[in-house]
Amino acid sequence: MIPGRGTMAGLLCVVICMILLSLMSCGQASAASDSRPLNTIAGFSPEKALRLGEDIYRRGILPTGEPVKAILQDDIPVTGTMFTCVSCHMRSGLGSIEGTVITLPTSGPRLFKPLTAAELNEGFLRAVFKDQASLSLRRPPYTDETLAIALRHGADPSGRQLHAVMPRYLLEDRDMEILIFYLKSLSASPSPGVTETTMQFATIITEEVSSRDRQSLLGPLEWFVRARNSRADYMRKKTSGRHLPEQMDRAFRRWSLSVWELKGPPATWRGQLEQYYRQEPVFAVLSGISTRDWAPIHAFTEEHGIPSIFPVTDLPVISETDWYTLYFSKGLVQEAVAAMQFIEGLPEASPDAPVLQVIGNDPESAVLAGAVRDYLLKQGRGGPIDLVIDADRPLSRKEADALLAKYRSPLVLFWAGRNAPAAAAMMLQSPHKPNMIFMSSTLLGDAIYTVPESIRKDVYITWPYQLPADIKKDAFSFMNIWGKTPGKVPVNRTIATKAYFAGSILIEALMHLKTNFYRDYFLDVISMISDHKIKIPVYPRLSFGPGQRYASKGCYIVQLSAGPDPEVVRRSEWVMH
């Protein structure tokens, strides 16, 4: 008997249902085997994965807390903490140059598109590559799979072997997924403070800064802005109506410099800075000046990821890990350490000899004293004897005698202000006088030349700048471009020179930045500037390098010569800190 159409249709429905149930069962089994929620990276939220990827890239540390393992030059086992990604590819992921080794970009926007000869002749690579030389480095875009091969085996998508200095990283699939996710985030979008026509900068000045010092800072900075904008306007007018490459057209941006003035106690600065930044996001903070602790400003720029280059401050933040502020030096801390390094080689500096610190009741003196205390403790010696005095009141002969009779120290570090020379004279007339007294030229200021001639042979002074005798007569001639404008107050040459240096560094860095408007890349480029590229008469030497945040790394120990017009006489080499 031949089944009817109704029977056949019923059988077909049963079969279809069985197939659907089977597929649903397989789907449930598959879901059970991969229980990771949607929108996760290796089982982590995107935010967590970025933090873990950052640890792999910057520190060479896996999510487990263990160091990444790698192979160098085919057979040398190394750890990722020794050869971190950031040490060559830089914080921005846009690459670097060291000697003859060229490290190409590893940021996602660059990795996942073809590398062409034109790109190899862009930015800081232009000085290294020529069209013919760069042909061999061209490649198709990476994929997640080919990028994993490059990281593990050292071959790019075209099959070309990467340089032997590139480690081959032994990463598990999960860790590889996290790292690739992080690389995709590097320099993925331009930083704030840049529009199609303008780059926005700010400089920060606190209210206690004198009008003379304020103008000494603003004069050079405003001159750089006027010169830049005049050039930009001229080039745009000259090329009006022409078809320009995007790189050239966008390079003619004008600069805008805002002055963020901070008033009131430092505890209120953060709120003021936040308000300024909300109203006017800036690409970077250019120089700045304060006689107070720079820490609140440092914390603000660090947390917002805003580059802050070369503020004029004697109270910088001392950190081996913070990134966004570049300082001229470690300020007063550098002076204190230089004094201790000089003292170490003296007979009076035996481990048993007490070190007496006479400290003014001001923040600057406290910083010097704290740096000495930290130095001695790190050397395994006992802490110094600290005596706090009123820096505004001269020390009497009776007080000096009592002090020295009690502590009997051959070395006195006199960290106080303008009254220090007179107090030192009292001490050196005491029957219990010390062999040497150390002072800070920063705290003394112009009072350095009031050290009485009778005690100069026993007084040693920290000097964190170029020696006057080594400064050429025309060294400050560059200040004529703004320093002789009628009606302007006389400038402080040191402050003006530091501001001029900050502007010069900005010009040099932006030349290499082109249109890569990423804050991290801006700082990466500065770290690659040659030590001899830009010199100023304030310091003997300024040096740059990846991760370095203090450009001047030394300090002289000096004395004053005899006579009514004493000269600064060097008593040490440029002590390196």
Residues 363 and 408 both lie in one domain: yes
Residue 535 predicted with pLDDT over 70: yes
**β-pairing verdict for 284-286 and 254-262:** unpaired
- Give the integer Cα–Cα distance in Å for 276 and 285: 12
Question: What CATH code is carried by the domain that includes residue 438?
Answer: 3.40.50.2300
- Residue 20 placed within a domain: no
pLDDT at residue number 312: 98
Count of beta carbons in the 10 Å neighbourhood of residue 539: 21
Q: How confident is the model at residue 391 (pLDDT cuts 50, 70, 90)?
A: confident
Containing 147, the helix (H) or strand (E) segment is: helix 144-153
Judging by beta carbons within 10 Å of its beta carbon (0-12, 13-18, 19+), is residue 22 exposed, middle or buried? exposed
Count of beta carbons in the 10 Å neighbourhood of residue 389: 20
- Residue 39 placed within a domain: no
| Residue of 325, 319, 266 whose CA lies nearest to 291 | 266
Residues 266 and 414 both lie in one domain: no
pLDDT at residue number 577: 61
Residues 211 and 252 both lie in one domain: yes
Mean pLDDT check: name the lowest of 356-360, 381-385, 500-504, 505-509: 381-385
**β-pairing verdict for 411-415 and 355-360:** parallel
Residues 434 and 505 both lie in one domain: no
**Residue of higher predicted confidence among 237 and 523:** 523
Q: What is the mean pLDDT of residues 332-347?
A: 91
CA-to-CA dists, residue 547 to 321, 372, 442, angstroms: 8, 25, 27
Quick one: tokens of 250?
């966008």
Residues 152 and 204 both lie in one domain: no
- Residue 159 placed within a domain: yes
Rg for the chain, CA atoms, rounded: 31
- Give the integer Cα–Cα distance in Å for 59 and 51: 11
- Residue 18 placed within a domain: no
Quick one: tokens of 33?
């085997």
Residues 206 and 296 both lie in one domain: yes
Whether residue 244 contacts residue 235, with contact meaning beta carbons closer than 8 Å, is answered with no
69-81: buried (b, 16+ CB within 10 Å) or exposed (e) per residue?
bbbeeeeeebebe
| 3-state secondary structure (DSSP) of residue 556 | strand
Interval 50-65: pLDDT, tens: 999 999 999 999 999 9
Four-CA torsion 360, 366, 368, 371, nearest 10 degrees: 150
Containing 559, the helix (H) or strand (E) segment is: strand 554-560
Residues 208 and 325 both lie in one domain: yes
Residues listed for the chain: 577
Residues 388 and 458 both lie in one domain: yes
Number of domains comprising the chain? 3
DSSP string, 269-308: HHHHHHHHHHHS--SEEE--B-SS--HHHHHHHHHHT--E
Look at residues 150, 185, 220 and tell me which one is the last residue of a structural domain.
185
- Residue 364 placed within a domain: yes
Residues 50 and 63 both lie in one domain: yes
DSSP string, 217-254: HHHHHHHHHHHHHHHHHHHHHHTTTS---HHHHHTT-E
- Give the integer Cα–Cα distance in Å for 404 and 432: 6
DSSP state of 189: S
- Give the integer Cα–Cα distance in Å for 185 and 172: 20
Residue 43 predicted with pLDDT over 80: yes
| Residue of 185, 103, 128, 222 whose CA lies nearest to 520 | 185
Look at residues 157, 185, 213 and tell me which one is the last residue of a structural domain.
185
pLDDT at residue number 487: 47
Interval 119-164: pLDDT, tens: 666 554 555 544 444 556 788 999 999 999 999 999 999 999 988 8
pLDDT at residue number 24: 41
**Residue of higher predicted confidence among 4 and 398:** 398
| Residue of 244, 197, 255, 324 whose CA lies nearest to 507 | 255
- Residue 57 placed within a domain: yes
Quick one: tokens of 408?
């009997």
Residues 245 and 218 both lie in one domain: yes
- Give the integer Cα–Cα distance in Å for 398 and 407: 15
Count of beta carbons in the 10 Å neighbourhood of residue 498: 23
- Give the integer Cα–Cα distance in Å for 507 and 564: 44
Q: Which residues form the domain of 370?
A: 333-463+557-576
- Average pLDDT, whole number, for the chain? 85
| 3-state secondary structure (DSSP) of residue 342 | helix
- Give the integer Cα–Cα distance in Å for 157 and 176: 17
Judging by beta carbons within 10 Å of its beta carbon (0-12, 13-18, 19+), is residue 544 exposed, middle or buried? middle
Partners of 255 in beta bridges: 199
Residues 254 and 176 both lie in one domain: no
| Residue of 119, 42, 577, 226 whose CA lies nearest to 53 | 42
- Give the integer Cα–Cα distance in Å for 173 and 471: 59
Side chain identity, residue 230 = S
Whether residue 141 contacts residue 147, with contact meaning beta carbons closer than 8 Å, is answered with no
Residue 201 predicted with pLDDT over 90: yes
**Residue of higher predicted confidence among 251 and 358:** 358
- Residue 277 placed within a domain: yes
Interval 215-272: pLDDT, tens: 999 999 999 999 999 888 877 777 665 655 555 545 678 999 999 999 999 999 999 9
Which residue is associated with the tokens 């005698």? Answer: 401
- Give the integer Cα–Cα distance in Å for 376 and 367: 14
Containing 6, the helix (H) or strand (E) segment is: helix 5-33
Interval 2-31: pLDDT, tens: 344 444 444 444 434 444 344 444 444 344
- Residue 354 placed within a domain: yes
Can you give the pTM of this predicted structure? 0.86
Full 3-state SS string of 396-429: CHHHHHHHHHHHCCCEEEEECCCCHHHHHHHHCC
Interval 430-484: pLDDT, tens: 888 999 999 999 999 999 999 999 999 999 999 999 999 998 877 777 776 665 5
Rounded to 5°, the CA angle 412-418-422 comes to 60
Residues 421 and 294 both lie in one domain: no
Which residue is associated with the tokens 């792999």? Answer: 56
The set of residues, in sequence order, having a beta carbon less than 8 Å from that of 445 and lying 6+ positions away, is 417, 418
Interval 455-465: pLDDT, tens: 999 999 999 99
| Residue of 374, 362, 286 whose CA lies nearest to 330 | 374
Which residue is associated with the tokens 């800075």? Answer: 273
**β-pairing verdict for 101-103 and 96-98:** antiparallel
Look at residues 159, 185, 211 and tell me which one is the last residue of a structural domain.
185
pLDDT > 70 fraction of the chain, expressed in percent and rounded: 84
